[in-house]
Structure 1
Amino acid sequence: MSGRSGMDGGPRSVVVVGAGIVGLSTAWFLQDRGVDVTVVDRTGVAAGASWGNAGWVSPALTAPLNSPSVLREGLRAMADPAAALHIPLRADPVLARFLVRFAANCRPGVWQRAARANAVLNDEALETFDVLVANGVDAPVTDTSIAVAFRDADRAVAFRRELDRIQGVHKPTVEVLAGAALRTHVPIASAQIASVVAVSGQRFVDPGRFTHALARAVVERGATIRTGDVERVLPVPGGVRVEVRAGEPLHADAAVVATGAWLTSLWGRRIRVGLHAGRGYSFSVPVDRPLPGPIYLPEARVACTPYRTGLRVAGTMEFRRPEEPLFRRRIEAIVASAAPLLDGVRWQERHAEWVGSRPVTDDGMPLIGQVDRGLYVAGGHGMWGLAHGPATGRLLAEQIVTGKQTEAARAFDPLRRR
């Protein structure tokens, strides 16, 4: 690569575009290998999905989106604007092309291939969070058991069997609870909940707090974080140039684009895998009784996480353009689906309503790697950007510094042919 120097031949300087969990993790692991880093973001640290998500680091429950069941749900959702998976009926050729390709990849074989590839990130998720916290990222990471709650006890048993299909090297302890044990484990479960699958060995964080702590650690290690709207990233003799609207261009040996749902707007010319914004909603709500750990309501596709003095409630997958406004009907749909299943939640006092865009690929695997001389991308994690962000950062930093794509990273090649 032009512009490389140093004992290992890697770059001395890198510009990372994007100050979410993926971009900042990449910056941190590059610094860990002795690289000087500048981070640029159009609005600031954790301004997107890294703030408003459910905060789960849950490798046992992290599976690709492109499953046959999601395709079936999506077809039903076309006629139901309140469905957890919402696809607006309107003329949008970009979305239509993405959905056709996504549907073609919702086959068992493609899903299984994506699950095997993503297992690399799942297997390293907990350990890479440990590395960050042990080396100065000052934010709590809470060990937990995640309660997956069902109305139908038979569906809980089937779900437990399904978990065995997607497990990597870290096997969680899984227990099916009912009756008094269920109420003790999930004190806000309503009488409609018949069974809970308790999945141990998982974690959760306050995502905004953790990402800001990671940003502070990156700055303390010598990086600069700038606010600016990056217009172009391109290779030039001796390195790369990052052009910032109303500002001087930045020059470095290499650059990483980690801008979430906006990734392809900066560098989509050669990426063959389709990527689209899958928007999620969240809000905070007070509760009458404290909750010891997160709850997932799979029938409603709603995740609830202990958050400050109450809960953060997150849900829905909405295929709209990332710049569109919050649609209150989607918040109301989350409440309508979750309220019958939980007692002691003061839904009318909800606040901090949020919508943000997750970058969803059409084949269920993220985009991690090189796209041109000195230019790299990291994104496309869908709902799992927080959980996979640190592992992605370490994987990409290794490739940038060594110039070699590891076997583990090959499935995530942004220039892969499908």
Structure 2
Amino acid sequence: MREDGIDGVPRRAVVVGAGVVGLSTAWFLQEHGVDVTVVDKQDVAAGSSWGNAGYLSPAFSIPLPEPAVLRYGLRTLFAPDAPLHVPASLDVGLWSFLTRFAAHCTPRAWRRSMQAFVPMNDECLDAFDALLAGGVDATTERAPLTAAFEDPAQAADLRHEFEQIRSCGQRIDTAELSTADAGVPQLSDRIASVLRVEGQRYVDPGEFTRALARSFVERGGTLRTGVAVRELVRTRGQVIVKSEPEERFSGEAVVLATGAWLSTLAKPLGVRTPVRAGRGYSFTVPTDEPVPGPIYLPAARVACTPYQGGLRVAGTMEFRPVDAPLDRGRIEAIVRSARPLLTGVRWEERRDEWVGGRPVTPDGRPLIGATKVPGTYVAGGHGMWGLTLGPLTGRLLAEQITTGKRPALLRPFDPLR
């Protein structure tokens, strides 16, 4: 009997969640010879795996709770136009979460969490390469990320952040350029300073996730959508997944990868760290000229990426219920903040307006690994970096499930912490 309570290598597994984290876990479980079923209450890439900015940027993959976020949040707590927004409400659970989040916004706590991210960031792009080499019919585009500033003094904050990351052991290659030398025609004449970050990539996130799903099915996996899981039951060496409509799926191992909905099913399994929805918005706009690579506007906290011949624009962190309707005012706030800094962008022709819940934990670290119930695992809470870290999360968790040994990289992300 292994330390996680499973007898031998699982023959069958069920993964709940058809986003990039869940499908990556399922795909890498197949690499170990496991027969996998993936279920989702909606569809493949129905949430943040579709609507995110598409960055594959280990240089920016950091814990969300940090002193600067706390200072900024206190100044703009209830401002509806602010990139970080907390609506006034009597949600006791939300305020309890935010209190815990604030307690982790210290230099010491951030550094401890960042040191856990560094080895994940070092390996995360290799996991994408493994998926592509294994038959996932998709591409990742290599391009530097251009951070643009209206005031050269604004660049100091990002340079300081990079220095803090480097002090934790992560390599980041940057170059300061003039706007003319940046080679990005979308930068307006308001941009006075540019910091280029080398070694990054980007992807069409929805297309990548759908390609991952196709590969999973082609390799013999079972994919069921429209299945809302309501509980997990452990019985006789199996975990039974009960769903609505009334169906049952079973396996020696079950993985919950349900994003911002993770706590609903994970809490009964002994996972006490809550996951809340940090909702992000995105939309797509046409551009007069091709976009050469990702653009980041740190002062506006807006991320832009080449997307289907145009530009995907993403931003905000909004702590509202995950299923709350899209707030069009938040879209307008992103447009107002980004419009002066970009040129040749047809803002009034925007399409694909979207809001989705990015899964945030109070300490900024994901929840990856075994729960208290033998045979059950969780993979979530990645915040804004579920796409960047999703394939590596799947590879490492599949290793733990099939060997019974937790990889060293996952120790800081113990879901029972």
Same fold (TM over 0.5): yes
> How much does 1:268 deviate?
1.3
1:363 alignment counterpart: 363
Give the match's secondary structure for 2:198.
Answer: strand
Cα deviation, residue 97, structure 1: 0.6
Q: Distance in 1 between matches of 2:261 and 2:52?
A: 17
Report the Cα offset of residue 169 of structure 1. Answer: 6.8
- C-alpha separation between the residues in 1 aligned to 2:180 and 2:362? 43
- Assess, with a 3 A threshold, how the Cα gap between structure 1 residues 71 and 54 changes in structure 2: closer, same or farther: same
Equivalent residues in 2 for 1:34-53, closer than 5 Å: 34-53=33-52
- 2:315 aligned residue: 315
Please state whether the residue corresponding to 1:409 is helix, strand or coil: helix
Report the equivalent of 2:233: 234
Residue in 2 aligned with 1:337?
337
SS in 2 for 1:249: strand
**Residue aligning to 2:402:** 401
Give the Cα separation in 2 of the matches to 1:115 and 1:302: 22
Note the alpha carbon deviations across 1:35-54, whole angstroms, 9 max, x for none.
11000000110000000000
- Which of residues 206, 209, 214 in structure 1 aligns to 2:207? 209
Deviations 1:375-401 (A, max 9, x none): 000000000000000010011111111
Distance, in Å, in 2 between the alignment partners of 1:275 and 1:28 is 25
> d(CA) in 2 for partners of 1:408 and 1:287?
41
Q: Distance in 2 between matches of 1:26 and 1:292?
A: 32
1:411 is matched with which residue? Answer: 412
> Could you tell me how far apart the structure 1 residues matched to 2:71 and 2:36 are?
44
**For 2:413 and 2:158, how far apart are their aligned partners in 1?**
28
Per the alignment, in what secondary structure is the counterpart of residue 75 of structure 1? helix
Contact 2:12 2:253 survives alignment (8 Å): yes
The whole-number CA distance in structure 1 between the counterparts of 2:152 and 2:220 is 53
Superposition deviation, residue 90 in structure 1: 1.2
Task: Please report how far the alpha carbon of residue 234 of structure 1 lies from its aligned counterpart in structure 2 after TM superposition.
Answer: 2.4
Once the 2 structures are TM-superposed, how far is the Cα of residue 113 of structure 1 from its aligned partner?
0.8
Does the aligned pair in 2 maintain the 1:3–1:239 contact within 8 Å?
Answer: no
Q: Could you tell me which amino acid in structure 1 is paired with residue 285 of structure 2? A: V
- Distance in structure 1 (CA, Å) of the matches to 2:222 and 2:5: 20
Give the structure-1-normalised TM-score: 0.96
Is the counterpart of residue 349 in structure 1 residue 349 in structure 2?
yes
Distance verdict in 2 for CA 1:389–1:124, change over 3 Å: same
The alignment partner of 1:291 has SS state of coil
From the superposition, tell whether residues 79 and 319 of structure 1 become closer, same or farther in structure 2 (CA, over 3 Å): closer
CA contact (8 A) 1:3 1:11 kept: no
1:162-311, aligned counterparts within 5 Å? Answer: 162-167=161-166, 171-182=171-182, 185-227=183-225, 228-269=227-268, 270-311=270-311
Check whether the contact 2:6–2:375 (CA below 8 A) recurs between aligned residues: no
Q: Shift in Å at residue 219 of structure 1?
A: 0.6
Corresponding position of 1:66: 65
CA contact (8 A) 1:160 1:174 kept: no
1:390 match = 391
How far does the alpha carbon of each residue in 1:346-376 deviate from its partner, in whole angstroms, 9 at most, with x for none? 1011011000001000001000011120000
Kept in 1: contact 2:29–2:398 (CA 8 A): yes
Query: Equivalents in 1 of 2:26, 2:76: separation in Å?
Result: 39
Letter in 1 for 2:185: P
- The worse-fitting range, judged by mean Cα deviation, of 406-415 and 19-28 is 406-415
Within 2, Cα distance between the matches of 1:138 and 1:3? 36
Deviation at 1:247, TM superposition (A): 2.9
Does the CA-based 8 Å contact 2:280-2:357 persist in structure 1? Answer: yes
Distance 2:100 2:130 in 1: 37
Alpha-carbon distance between aligned partners in 2 of 1:166 and 1:80, rounded to the nearest angstrom: 30
User: Which residue type is aligned with residue 148 of structure 1?
Assistant: A
Distance 1:253 1:95 in 2: 35
- Please say if residues 25 and 214 of structure 1, whose CA atoms lie closer than 8 Å, have aligned partners that are also in contact: yes
Q: Structure 1 residue 381 and structure 2 residue 382: aligned?
A: yes
Residue type at the aligned position of 2:207:
R
Contact 2:162 2:172 in 1 (8 A): no
C-alpha distance in 2 between matches for 1:365 and 1:52: 21
Structure 1 residues without counterparts, runs of 5 or longer:
none
What is the deviation of 1:3? 8.5
- SS of the residue aligned with 1:408? helix
Counterparts of 1:335 and 1:179, CA distance in 2: 21
Instruction: Output the CA distance in 2 between the equivalents of 1:268 and 1:243.
Output: 16
AA partner of residue 367 (structure 1): L
Distance change >3 Å, CA 302–CA 179, structure 1 → 2: closer
SS at 1:74's partner residue? helix
Per mean C-alpha deviation after superposition, the further-off stretch among 241-250 and 342-351 is 241-250
Is contact 1:84–1:315 with CA below 8 Å preserved after alignment? yes
Q: How big is the shift at 1:272?
A: 2.3
Q: Select between 262-271 and 162-171 the one with higher mean Cα deviation.
A: 162-171
In structure 1, give the amino acid aligned to 2:203: V
Do the aligned residues in 2 keep the contact of 1:234 with 1:375 (CA within 8 Å)?
no
- The amino acid that maps onto 2:161 is E
| SS of structure 2 residue aligned to 1:283 | strand
Aligned length: 411
Unaligned runs of 5+ in 2: none
- Measure how far apart 1:273 and its partner are: 1.7
Instruction: State yes or no: 1:99 paired with 2:103.
Output: no
